[in-house]
Structure formats: C-alpha cells, structure tokens
Structure 1
C-alpha cells in the first residue's frame, strides 16, 4: 500500500492560560487571523483557538488550548522547544524588530540559522517563537496573510516554519523521522548554544517542511504548562492517505489513536520515541464549512456532534469577544 510522502508541517498546538490576552497578542501584535474559535474536542470546557493566514490553509495554523489553571513551563528535553513562523523576506525582520520594540516584546537581534535570517522572541507566557525569513525559500509554498491584518501584507506571517524538537536520544527520533515517516536528512548546523542541530525535511522541503532536532542529554524532561507546545501535526493529502498511515503504523506495532474525526480535518496521533506527541492531519475539509470566509473566527464554532450541548458548553466558557 503506497503512501504519499507527508507534505510538511500542518499545525502546532500549544497551551495558554489566558485566551483573551492570547487573542490580543496573536491577532493585534502578530497580525495573524483567528480563523476558528472552538473547543478542545477532548475537553469541551476549554477554548481551542486557531490563528493562521487568511483562511487557515494547511501549514499556517498555530493553535492554543486555553487551560486557565496551567502552571509555568519548565523547559527541557523531550519537547517541542521552538515554533518558527515564516515571513516573506529579510527586510520583514527589520519591520518586526521595530514592532516588537514598540509593543515591549522580548526579542533577540537578527541572526543566521541554517543560512536563513531569523529573530527569536517570546509571547507574554514565554512561548518560544522564531521568525524565519523566506527570502531564499524554494520549498513548501507559504500561506497568504489576511489583508485586514494590522500588519502590512508584505511583512505578514505566512505560515509555520521549521519545528524544533529537543531530545536526549537523537538516534531514536532520527530513525522514526527517516525510516517510518519518510523524512530525509538535509544537514547539521551549530546553533547559538553550540549544540548541533540536525535538519530533516519532507514533501517539497524548505521552511514549511522541516523538523530540526536539537540533541541535549544534559537537561531534565520539559514540564508542560502555559507557554509550552502540546503537539505538532504533519500534513497528509486526504482521508484515504490517512487510513494508509493508520494501517502502516498498526503493521509496525506503533501505538496510536487510530482515526480521529476533528471535523475541520481528520487525524491520527502517536508518540515518537522521545515521548513527543505527533499528529498526522488531512489538508481538508478546512474552516469554511461552518462559517463563511468574511466571518471566520467571530463566533463560537462547534462541530455538529457537539451542537446538542451548545448551551451547556457556552455556559462554561468565559465570553471572548472576537468580532472584527
């Protein structure tokens, strides 16, 4: 049963303790569009917010579960340690540095990582983020920033870039990426902290199709909380392809969730050998099945199988105003 290669990064899901401040940071400062305000389908008492390009194209979604009681993150290994966001050019990074200074956002200076200009920064909860210039990218195509964003389109965030995993046992994660998921190894570079970073790519590669493994055996495992990443998802073309992956993982006896209906996409979850949660998610159907393009993210959207519980769900959620 031939499976097509994974097409790249699909989305990253992280944890916030404050949906309101999270919404303000990612839409008003970073200029991303809230394309869906919904619930965590595994815990309908909390919000799940999706920030993306203009319509939530696959590969552009940075999502957050609101867990108000979440403690602080204690960074370490066995973790998704940095999420990068693609911007169109090196020039855009100059714009972003000025913008971060204007809003009092903690950030580093421009540096080169793996031949690309980058700027590291953090949100109000210490979420570790990295702007990556797409100036020389010839891999996975970017998304399209929303034209009603407070950030000019020519500088806007156009999707997810390389995802950084910090692991104590490099060879285990590498074997899974290459031998199971079909990534190819592209190279190695030294990062600012002098640790080697190993680069793997899938699909058309480039900024939207890379995983960077940071090898650290001198740290404790990360303790997740507000400001940490819960999981990373990779793109599969459709439900038929996803079912091939489910069969394949079953043949390899890799424990997994089996098929999971998420309404906006279909999914499969499993943990790689260093304990990091991976998801495979279909490119469609997308976010316009229950809201039209002009009004994405304005109201609480519930998959049809939750609609009968809407009154109870809304009563438990703190109101969050997201109308444009």
Structure 2
C-alpha cells in the first residue's frame, strides 16, 4: 500500500557549487544523485536527501549559474519545510547565526516551533520541530551532529487564490485529509512520516510569481509502484477531469505530471526503483550518472557542466 505523502520537491537554483555547499555542508544533507535534467541535459539535476535518498526526504535542484531571482506568487510553492527534533531548533538558530544564514526568529505554526530561513538564492525554507522526528541518521553528516540532523521533509505550503479546488485534489485525488487550521492556513496530512503535510494558504494579494533561482518548479507525491500511480491517475481523470501526462521514466522513479486547479505543477512519482539502481549506497551521488539514452553523449555533456567542487 502506498504511503501518502511527498516524494520530493524540485526547485531552481543559482550556481551548482554554491547550492551543493549549502545543502551538504550547512544543512548536512547527503547528495544522493548527481545527474542531469533529462529534458535539458546541459543542466545538472542534483538530489539531496537522507542516507539512501528515500522518498519523503528529497529536495532536488536544477542549478543555472546566471539565473535571475524568482519571485513567489499565487499558484506556487511558498515554503518548503524539513523535520528536526523539537529540542534541536535552538541548536539550528545558533548554527544559522554562526554561518550567516538569512533566518527569522523562531515562531509557532500549527503548534510546532518553526525556524524560517532562506538559502543563498532566497528560497523560502523552514525547520519544524516535531516530538517524534524519527531515528537519527547513521552516516557522518559533517559537523551537523546526528541528534540535530534533518529527518526528511516536513511538508510544503502552497500559496493560492482559493483553497477549495486544490483541497479536493489533495483529499479525493491523493488521499490526504484535513488535519488542522491555523488562521487562514489549512493543513492536510498524509500517512507518511516524512513529507506528510501540505498546507494551503490563501493570498489577499493575487500577484503571480516569477520562475527563477530560489523558486520551486514542482512538488511530487508518492505512489508505491506503477499500479498505484495508474489508479491515482484514473481517479484524477474521472473524478476531476484533469489532464495528466503519459508516464515518463526518470531512471530512479517513474513520473506523471499535471497542473492542479490552483496552478501548482504536481507530479506523482513511484517509490521504485530508487537511487541504488545504478550505483551502490556507499557511493551515492559521487559520480555523474546518465540514463542509457544519454550515455553516448557523456563526454560532451560532462564538458559543458560546471565543476561542483
């Protein structure tokens, strides 16, 4: 049975080396796959997550060295949040101060301590302190102690003109349930421990956003396998008359895409086959990996990509 929750979030960034430095050194995530945008092989696709790159832990990027800054607006992802142990919020405040990370004072959202911050491209992020954060990672996360390490995605907040149509997709289409309200924001919960929440926030200012560095391209939801994905597509098509793409092989999962009524690009990605399909767990992310169709062009593709060091 499928876990109901996020599979990954994909965003745009500026320079690839700066992006890698922030997410691996500052936040202590693991670079679990170094590949390219299959639709634009001249651009990296970098995946960060837990030790094995499990669904629900993944934040991925298309780095573009000279990308203009994006702007959040209606019909976009406003914030991407990670889970940490509740007692670790203070530790992260001190770390952000010491490392000059742009951040706000801790606040509370849905009764949980929340530390909002931005990456070097201005992407809106948060750490949410939870009581049951899950086990500490076993791998060496650099100078982020295991007891304070990120434990996967907490969820995303979508900024919308109206919540109702998107809520119907989340509940009837994707299996989420309304879990809580906090002011004008409504939280929907899935069953997955990591990546289990989607929050809908409505905007008085209905200005549209602008794609660019620091903006989210799409959010992906989990399907256990092809059959579970197909069942969800059928439900979305028959109940909501949504146009869903054909399945696309992304090497580490198989995906379909659709634009939900509020304007956000949604993906449904299979949990299988996972990131060890083309390299062992111990060396995930350490080498450039390409799908079979791009392997004949490896030399040209590698030569055009910037240095990640």
SS at match of 1:100: helix
Write the distance in 1 (CA, Å) between the matches of 2:78 and 2:10. 12
Rounded Cα–Cα distance in structure 2 between residues aligned with 1:62 and 1:162: 11
- Contact 1:145–1:158 (CA<8 Å) still a contact in 2? no
User: Structure 1 residues 221, 92: CA separation in 2 closer, same or farther (over 3 Å shift)?
Assistant: same
What's the secondary structure of 2:43's corresponding residue? strand
CA contact (8 A) 2:136 2:146 kept: no
Aligned to 2:142: 149
1:77-226 → structure 2 map (5 Å cutoff): 77-87=74-84, 89-136=85-132, 144=137, 146-190=139-183, 196-204=184-192, 208-226=195-213
Cα distance 1:5–1:35, how it changes in 2: closer, same or farther (>3 A)?
A: closer
RMSD: 1.8
Q: 1:207 to 1:54 in 2, by over 3 A?
A: closer
1:79-120 CA distances to partner (integer Å, 9 max, x unpaired)? 101000111x22211111111011111111222211111100
Name the stretch that deviates more: 238-247 or 121-130. Answer: 238-247
CA distance in 2, matches of 1:240, 1:184: 22
Distance in 1 (CA, whole Å) between partners of 2:138 and 2:226 is 27
CA contact (8 A) 2:81 2:156 kept: yes
Q: 1:294 to 1:37 in 2, by over 3 A?
A: same
Unaligned runs of 5+ in 2: none
Where does residue 56 of structure 1 map in the other structure? 53
Deviations 1:145-200 (A, max 9, x none): 6324331110001100121000002112112212222221112102xxxxx11011
Q: Please state how far the C-alpha of 1:250 moved relative to its aligned partner.
A: 3.6
Cα pair 1:85 1:159 within 8 Å, conserved? yes
| CA distance in 2 between partners of 1:37 and 1:136 (Å) | 31
Match of 1:272 in 2: 260
Contact 1:33–1:149 (8 Å) recurs in 2: no
- TM-score, normalised by the number of residues in structure 2: 0.94
Task: Flag structure 1 segments of 5+ consecutive residues without an equivalent.
Answer: 191-195
Structure 2: distance between partners of 1:297 and 1:11: 16
TM-score scaled by structure 1? 0.90
> 1:145, 1:249 → 2: CA distance?
39
Q: Tell me by how many angstroms 1:207 deviates.
A: 6.0
- Return the alpha-carbon distance in structure 1 between the equivalents of residues 169 and 299 of structure 2: 43
Taking a change above 3 Å as real, the CA distance of residues 232 and 187 of structure 1, as seen in their structure-2 partners, is same
When residues 300 and 201 of structure 1 are mapped into structure 2, their CA distance, relative to the original with a 3 A threshold, is: same
Matching residue of 1:193:
none
Cα gap change, 1:142 to 1:173, in 2 (>3 Å): farther
